[in-house]
Amino acid sequence: MAESADYGLKCIVKLGGAAITHKHEFEERNNENLSLVASQLREAIMGSSWHGHGMDWSKRIENNHKDFAHEFGDQKIDSSAFVVVHGAGSFGHFQASRSGVHKGGLHLPLVRAGFVATRISVTSLNLEIVRALASEGIPSVGMSPFACGWSTAGRNFTDANISQVANAIDSGLIPVLHGDVVLDNSQGCTILSGDVIIRYLAQQLRPHYVVFLTDVLGVYDRPPSDPNAILLREIAVDEDGSWSIVKPMLPHMNKQVKITVGAHDTTGGMMTKITEAATIAKLGIDVYIVKAGTDHSLKALKGEVSNISNEWLGTMVRSSSKCIHSDV
């Protein structure tokens, strides 16, 4: 796919694993957050006045003889505006870390078993997220990187044809991808994180903006559990990929932002998000990192955050050229 192709894509959304699951509880969804996220996505895609019907008929078996046509009529949905990618959270990470599947060695029985177990876990979460979105009337379809034939070499993409994603968009569907285990040409197998997928899709599909939905307000200068943690409101990315904090002006600007990663997290945590967000911002695409299920995330999903104000809480990552001409 040529990078210059215009898919008319409005937004790529990353549902962070920590926001949609209870990350330290084995395979446990955060149903409350997932419901809020699905509702906000429906409003961002179809507007607050839309009151259509859900698309998940699988739990309405008692009515499967019924003609549902009247429920949908000729409703039109601008579903081509969004692509969704979700993390695994408490699904898959435990299996991957205990088997070492992210380190490769698919010829080893434990790693091979871990590969299978990880895929079972992450695809089961993908199904539930697709179901939650479909229940809100969003025409979502699950897409697994492994099943799409995506592969890597040394954790870098070697084969990632996005034709299936593009065809789904053209067909009026919303692709829902996820972090996955994939084959790797140099080490046998590895973990392909949702954040890396977001970066690749942004390069290929060129959305207007990208939204990372997390379990905290945004990126902090240290772990947010620290009472002295400061929310970084705006990060500027230069042409060479280096980034700096624009707002707020910290007393020690050269101080390294401190990031912690969960012991079972095989995908790099918040530092990976910043790195991938910076790569996306280099393309001229604004990135918003914001807490899921809040008024701030709804504004971000709608694309209503042009400049940083005191009313909006989150982290904007964007090209330094845009920051220079901003009024903040």
Q: Where are the domains of the chain?
A: 1-46+78-207, 217-283+308-327
- Give yes or no for a cis peptide into 175 (omega within 30° of 0): no
Alpha helices in the chain (DSSP H): 17-20, 31-46, 69-72, 93-99, 109-135, 163-170, 194-205, 269-281, 295-302, 320-324
Binding-site entries for substrate: 88, 93, 194
Write the pLDDT tens digit of every residue in 235-282.
Answer: 999 888 888 888 887 765 544 455 443 444 434 455 666 788 899 999
Please report, rounded to a whole number, the percentage of residues in the chain having pLDDT higher than 70.
Answer: 81
Indicate yes or no: pTM above 0.85: yes
CA–CA separation, 327 vs 17, rounded Å? 34
Q: How many Cβ atoms are within 10 Å of 134's Cβ, its own excluded?
A: 20
Q: Which residues contact 31 (CB under 8 A, 6 or more apart)?
A: none
CATH topology for the 1-46+78-207 domain: Carbamate kinase (3.40.1160)
The neighbouring-strand residues paired with 174 are 140
Question: What Rg, from alpha-carbon coordinates, does the chain have?
Answer: 20
Pairing of strands 209-214, 11-15: parallel
Write the pLDDT tens digit of every residue in 83-115.
Answer: 999 999 999 989 999 999 999 999 999 999 999
Report whether pLDDT(155) > 80. no
Binding-site entries for ATP: 89, 215, 269, 273
Backbone angles phi, psi at 167, to 5 degrees: -65, -40
53 vs 99, more confident:
99
Query: 51-60, 110-119, 148-157 — which is least confidently predicted?
Result: 51-60
What was the pLDDT predicted at 76?
60
Binding-site entries: 88-89, 93, 194, 215, 269, 273
